[in-house]
Structure 1
Amino acid sequence: MRADRCSLIKNYYTQIDRTKIYVDYTNKRVKIVDLNNISVQNIKRIIHFSSKEHLGKIICNCDSESLIIFEEAGFELEGKINGYFKGKDAFCMSYFIISDRKICSNFTKKELLVKECLAVRDTFIHRSDKSKYCIRNANENDIKEMVKLFSTVFSTYPSPVYDEEFLKETMNGKVLYKVAVYDGKIIGIASADMDKENLNAEMTDCATYPDYRGKGILSNIICSLEVDLKKKGFRTLYSLSRAINPGVNIVLSKHNYKYTGRLVNNCNICGTFEDMNIWVKNINYN
């Protein structure tokens, strides 16, 4: 096993039997990043490693060929990302080391929210409001304002969006950040974390100042991101959205994203572990 520690935070990548994993102390979990040399025996070693590190969950987006291996190793299917691997489906498999991590709180309330979202699916109408705010790609000059917005909206977050160097690094090709600007001030953000190898992108980092919510800002940023991603040839867009937050879930459903499952106690956001709803949209099949 060898380790290549991340310079930004204490999380790091390593390998167990040539299988790459991401050790994520921020969210007390391990993510299996690739499927090289994957076997039940190898997964058992990863479980042992994760348990020793006092981590509560292991996650992996696996392909159909390795699905049975994860099932035999005790993993559970929590959802699906259709078209994740250049058009082929990914199965969101999870192993819960700590039993409490498996408990979905407020289940009925979260199911009702999904039902409300599905009732408005594919109803997005572009609201042009250029006189009030504009949407553009973020650049390095925006980073301090972006950190301020993220810090205002989220007390904790699964990735280090409060770190200026992290934003600067990811802004250079890995993540497409878009901002809404009103009167010279950034009032909203969303991004696309691009997996160029598999032609998928995660729609994430959605944040709007409270005073500007309910005005269609996030919807229009998502629309702008989608236009650019389609031009770049991406096939699949997906989002992991807080299961207790109506706003983002409703926006995604209106944009015709399909609900495909829920990741229980998946990440540390706003001071606690939260369930994340999976929303998927396939584009560029022509």
Structure 2
Amino acid sequence: MRASRCELNNTFYAKIDRTKILVDLPNKRIKIIDFNTISTQNLKRIIHFASKQHLSKILCNCDTKSFETFINAGFNSEGKISGYFKGNDAFCMSYFINSDRKVCSNFARKELLIKECQNVRNTYAHQKNNLGYLIRNANKNDIKEMIDLFSTVFLTYQSPIYDEEYLKQTMNDKVLYKVAVYNGKIISIASADMNKENLNAEITDCATHPSYRGIGILSNIIYSLESDLKAKGFLCLYSLSRSINPSINFVLSKHNYNFAGRLVNNCNICGTFEDMNLWVKNINSTSF
């Protein structure tokens, strides 16, 4: 195994046989990056490596051709992202090393929330900006204020959004950050993590200051992100939302995202491992 460590967020890339993986220590998981030539034997070696590292979950967004290989190695599909690979589907495959991590708590309550979200599906209308805030692309001068807002909203988070260098490195080229500014102060943020090779983007890093919630600011930022991504030629948008947080799930459903699965105990957010609901939207022929 060869490894190269990234000190920014205590993660590192490694290769097991010829398969590239991301070892994500804060979230106690491995993400398989390259699955094109993967075999069942190769997956067994990755499982063994993860166990030795005291990690408890392995993830991969694989294509249709590789699906059976993952199933044969003991993986399960937790969701499907329609159009992830330039219009072709991806399956969210997971392997749980620790049996405790595969337990979805409060299942009935989370299912009820999804049913309630379906009642408001595709009802978003561009909301009037009565407050007078400005939505714009973030720039490097915003980073310290962005970190302050992230720190206010999230006790812990799955990616290093509190790290100034990480935000500098990802801003604009890989991640499109948008902010809502009111009276010179950033009051809400959302971003699109862009996979330019496969023409998909993850809507993520959604945070609104507690004093400004409930008036549609985040919905309008997402609308702005979607407009830019559609203009850039992206085909597929998806988002992983906290399954216990009604507001973001309602927002995504209103924007016509489809509920497409639940990733159990997927990441360390707000101080504990949480289930993440998967929402998917194809924008190549969608008007919004």
**TM-score, L = length of structure 2:** 0.98
Contact preservation (8 Å) 1:175, 1:191: yes
Q: Which residue of 1 aligns with 2:186?
A: 186
The CA distance in 1 between the partners of 2:156 and 2:8, in whole Å, is 16
The CA distance in 2 between the partners of 1:54 and 1:219, in whole Å, is 39
1:11 counterpart = 2:11: yes
* Superposed displacement of residue 130, structure 1: 6.3
* Superposed displacement of residue 37, structure 1: 2.3
Q: Which residue identity lines up with residue 263 of structure 1 in the other structure?
A: L
1:92 counterpart = 2:92: yes
Post-superposition CA distance 1:3-23 (Å, at most 9, x none):
121131221111111111000
Contact preservation (8 Å) 1:18, 1:36: no
Written as runs of structure 1 = structure 2, the 5 A alignment for 1:195-234 is: 195-234=195-234
| Structure 1 unaligned blocks of 5 or more | none
* Superposed displacement of residue 172, structure 1: 3.9
Post-superposition CA distance 1:229-283 (Å, at most 9, x none):
0000000000000000001100000000000000000000000000000000001
The CA distance in 2 between the partners of 1:164 and 1:182, in whole Å, is 22
Q: Which residue of 2 aligns with 1:274?
A: 274
Deviates more, 1:64-73 or 1:12-21: 12-21
Q: Which residue identity lines up with residue 210 of structure 1 in the other structure?
A: P
* Superposed displacement of residue 189, structure 1: 0.2
Please report the RMSD computed on the Cα atoms of aligned residues, expressed in angstroms. 1.0
The CA distance in 1 between the partners of 2:60 and 2:5, in whole Å, is 20
SS at match of 1:42: helix
Post-superposition CA distance 1:137-178 (Å, at most 9, x none):
000000000000000000000000000000010004000000
Q: Which residue of 2 aligns with 1:116?
A: 116
Contact preservation (8 Å) 1:17, 1:37: no
SS at match of 1:77: strand
Q: Which residue of 2 aligns with 1:136?
A: 136
Contact preservation (8 Å) 2:29, 2:55: yes
* Superposed displacement of residue 285, structure 1: 4.1
Q: Which residue identity lines up with residue 212 of structure 1 in the other structure?
A: Y
Q: Which residue of 2 aligns with 1:174?
A: 174
Contact preservation (8 Å) 2:79, 2:261: yes
Count of residue pairs the alignment pairs up: 286
Contact preservation (8 Å) 2:23, 2:29: yes
The CA distance in 1 between the partners of 2:168 and 2:104, in whole Å, is 35
* Superposed displacement of residue 123, structure 1: 0.1
SS at match of 1:12: strand
Written as runs of structure 1 = structure 2, the 5 A alignment for 1:39-78 is: 39-78=39-78
Contact preservation (8 Å) 2:9, 2:159: no
Question: Structure 1 stretches (4+) deviating beyond 4 angstroms?
Answer: none
Q: Which residue of 2 aligns with 1:238?
A: 238
SS at match of 1:66: helix
* Superposed displacement of residue 132, structure 1: 1.7
Contact preservation (8 Å) 2:36, 2:66: no
Q: Which residue identity lines up with residue 69 of structure 1 in the other structure?
A: T
The CA distance in 1 between the partners of 2:270 and 2:64, in whole Å, is 34
Contact preservation (8 Å) 1:239, 1:280: yes
The CA distance in 1 between the partners of 2:76 and 2:165, in whole Å, is 36
The CA distance in 1 between the partners of 2:130 and 2:227, in whole Å, is 17
* Superposed displacement of residue 2, structure 1: 1.1
| Structure 2 unaligned blocks of 5 or more | none
Q: Which residue of 2 aligns with 1:28?
A: 28
The CA distance in 2 between the partners of 1:16 and 1:37, in whole Å, is 12
